[in-house]
Amino acid sequence: MNHKLEIRNLTKTFNTEEGELKALDNVSIEVKPAEFLCIIGPSGCGKTTLLRMIAGLEHPSSGKIILDGKEVKGPSPDRGMVFQEFSLFPWRTVIKNVTFGLEIQGIGRDERYRIAEKYIELVGLKGFENRYPYELSGGMKQRVAIARALATDPAILLMDEPFGSVDAQTRNALQEELLEIWKRTKKTILFVTHSVDEAVYLADRVAVMSARPGSLVKCLDIDIPRPRKRTSVEANMFREQLLMLLSIERSKASISV
């Protein structure tokens, strides 16, 4: 068994006022240790739902999620999550946001701060330890969120369009930083995005999802050696493939709506 994470026949149906809504349909994926997997798909296809189920914030209607051989039952600090929206605790400074998970685990103050310092440095925010979130830019906030998710040393990092709300240049910088962090920490990363460029630049493998109800259309190995160039010919070929798969899905979505 050399899978870090195994998702088996995962289906999720929501009960809404207009009746049942099938968000995910029979999704199965295996993720290797230290793999960088990007998940891409049309809006509303259930990417966030998938991540939330892995995080334990939502229960599957059927199917299983197995992390390190154990079935996921609820939230736990062994799965770090970076949310799509800003999620820093506004009443805590940068360093206190990063130490939050450690504090809950009952780790002593000095030890907490030592660990937090390490991750704050890793995301390039040294010197900002005592700032409050309102004093930070959007990109900085997401960096803190990443440091906070890493601080408890999770087995896997779940990221839901973490750079969706920052400008293009900051986004490129954050992507590079994330790759550096990934190289240094050897975490398994599941990264949801709707940007084909982002997926091709970051991922070992891209999982393309269908329009709602989301199911897996195709997994694409991005076997471009690293460090990658955003403008290389191979990158362009992968981009084209992904765009085509997505446009097929998008047209299906518009028909079914």
Ligand X SMILES: Nc1ncnc2c1ncn2[C@@H]1O[C@H](COP(=O)(O)OP(=O)(O)OP(=O)(O)O)[C@@H](O)[C@H]1O
Q: How many CB atoms lie within 10 A of CB 156?
A: 22
92 scored as a contact of other proteins (CB under 8 A): yes
Q: Cβ closer to other proteins: 153 or 234? A: 153
Q: Looking at 44-198, which runs of residues are DSSP E strands? A: 62-67, 70-71, 79-82, 156-160, 188-192
Amino acid (one-letter) located at 36: F
Q: Which of 43, 89, 183, 254 binds other proteins (CB under 8 A)?
A: 89
Work out what residue 132 binds among ligand X, other proteins, Mg ion, none; the CB cut-off runs from 5 to 8 Å by kind.
Answer: other proteins
Q: Cβ closer to Mg ion: 48 or 215? A: 48
Q: How far apart are CA 12 and CA 182, in angstroms?
A: 30
Residue 191, strand partner residues: 38, 159
Work out what residue 46 binds among other proteins, ligand X, Mg ion, none; the CB cut-off runs from 5 to 8 Å by kind.
Answer: ligand X
* Residues at the interface with ligand X (CB under 6 A): 14, 16, 21, 23, 43-49, 194, 212
Q: Which of 34, 44, 57, 195 binds other proteins (CB under 8 A)?
A: 57
Q: How many CB atoms lie within 10 A of CB 219?
A: 13
Dihedral of alpha carbons 118, 123, 124, 127, sign: negative
Q: Which of 24, 25, 48, 191 binds Mg ion (CB under 5 A)?
A: 48
Residue nearest to ligand X (CB): 48
Q: How far apart are CA 76 and CA 33, in angstroms?
A: 19
Q: Cβ closer to ligand X: 59 or 229? A: 59
Q: How far apart are CA 237 and CA 200, in angstroms?
A: 10
Which residues would be at the binding site for other proteins (CB under 8 A)? 55-57, 74-77, 79-81, 83, 85-87, 89-92, 100-101, 103-105, 132-135, 148-149, 152
